[in-house]
Structure 1
Amino acid sequence: MFGRGTFLDREIEKWHLEVWGVLKDRFASEIPLADTPVVLPTRDFFPVSDAVGHERALHVFACIKRAMQMEDWDCDLVAQPPRPTGVRVAEFVTIEGAQDPGGTFRIDDTGRPVITYAPDLIERPAELVAVLAHELAHLLLSSEDDLVDDPTHELMTDMTVAYTGFGVFGANAAFSFRQHGDAFGQGWSSQTSGYLSPRSWAFALAVFGLLRGDDGGMGSHLKPEIEGLRQKALAYLRKRPQLIESLL
């Protein structure tokens, strides 16, 4: 009758703010939010390259590491085997859903970090950036044993993506739905990337902008539905400054 009392579920919102406190406590000395760029899909962050295939993925990977201030972190990038492309549900209808992970992170037997990615993402660079940023966030968190063991670790990894300035990519990739068709049939493809819901991403982006001091113009690069939610989250937080006072 009177609308939502909180922007997110109360416990989820409390968790969000606690995670921001943890990330600032652990990483502010190495990655201060005031110096964290709002990474956007522009040539400033991703210079043009003629590289193709895996070399192109390596170029994008290097750009992400540089923006994340992780250039000196050793890590191998490996392409996964190609993913299956579709399930036919009728003579002329297919539904495509990439259920295999777009990326993975592991420490190999020699102690070296290894990130893998689905090679089809090379043709969808914004999604590739979201996946690689998420896996590099795993690397950033890997030395924090208590955070790695936390049951919300994957969600916390998405929050780390926001903390390191890649929230625009993470939020836009949270859910995508595409329809395609021609004279021989039609189909739909859906894909989720990351673990936070679109509403949680909007809240994380709003908190990030307020803690950083400005939003870096991210609004014009967000999907309209995400930007609309972010504006609502900003209005909510500005009416309740006490929620982030301890984080400033």
Structure 2
Amino acid sequence: MRLAVKNLIRIGAVCGTMAAIYSFPSMAAIGPGFTEGSYVATITADSVNINKSGDSEEVLLTVKAGSEYEVLDDLGNGWVKVRVNDTEGYLPVSGNAMVAQVGADEMAEVQQDAVESSNSYKRQQVVNYALQFVGGRYRYGGSDPNTGVDCSGFTRYVLQNSAGISMGRSSTAQSRQGVPVSADQMQPGDLIFYGAGSSINHVAMYIGNGQIVHASTERTGITISNWNYRNPVKIVNVLG
């Protein structure tokens, strides 16, 4: 829990045999620009589901104890609307979280953590999308992993359909997009290019843990390999 916390509110806290249940002060929808006097929900349960909407039990995300979320609104009846990645979710607070009013510095930390979490989440979604095609057919000139695809066709298809990012058709063209990064900076979703010298003839997507997914050869198809199975000549971040 953060040190500079005031007006701590526990919903569903138990003292002895009496359950003390409190609600928020009245809060209109709190926008992301409001910092001083805003609220943060800290998860206290081992795990809890944050729902996609207030009138549905469809799960947006399952979160663990210690996770923190900016509170956007008090919905009453033990529910709050919180910022989750680049969207909003609905958190049942009772028995699951503590809500505290924090100052501008603390809220800035929470919001920065949320930006980083959102980027990691987006990257993992891209990787998960790519991995569903493992075992698919390699086809030179192909552009759809459902029917056969080559290396650049694969990365182009994945980034367009999972992240809305338009890529060039060839591996050389794709290597000119995004921001070059070093091997110790690369993250899941980054593109790794291979070739001889400065000549690029293959592209793969980094998926983490020292591995890539790529449309490799006609024999292996779309497969997972070690990221340095060949000598990488360039690594590019196109996801921001």
TM-score range normalised by the length of the shorter chain: under 0.3
Normalised to the residue count of structure 1, the TM-score between the two structures is: 0.25
The structure, 1 or 2, with the larger RCO (C-alpha pairs under 8 Å, 6+ apart) is: 1
Higher helix share: 1
Higher strand share: 2
Choose 1 or 2 for highest CA Rg.
Answer: 2
TM-score by length of 2: 0.25
